Amino acid sequence: MSEPNPSSYTPSDLRAGAGEDAAAMSTPQTLTGIFFEPGRTFEALRARPRFLVAALITLVTFMVFQTLFIQRVGGYEAFIRAQVEASPRTAEMPAEQKEQAIAMQTKPVFKALGYLSPIIGVAIFVAAGAALYLLGTMAMGKQISYKQALAVWTYSGLPPGIIIMVANLILLFLRSPEDMDIARSARGLVHANLSLLVDGTAHPVLATALGSLDLFRIYGLFLAALGLRKVARMSAGSAWTVVLIIFLLGVLFTVAIATMTGSVMA
pLDDT at 266: 66
Sorted by sequence, the CB contacts under 8 Å of residue 70 that are 6+ apart come out as 76, 79
Of the spans 85-89, 101-105, 141-145, which averages the highest pLDDT?
A: 141-145
pLDDT at 102: 83
Nearest by Cα to 49 from 235, 223, 227, 242 = 227
pLDDT at 1: 41
User: What pLDDT digit, counting tens, does each position of 135-161 carry?
Assistant: 999 999 999 999 999 999 999 999 999
Q: From CA 102, how far away is CA 29, in angstroms rounded? A: 46
pLDDT at 20: 47
Q: From CA 99, how far away is CA 239, in angstroms rounded? A: 50
For 191, counting Cβ atoms within 10 Å of its Cβ (0-12 exposed, 13-18 middle, 19+ buried), the class is buried
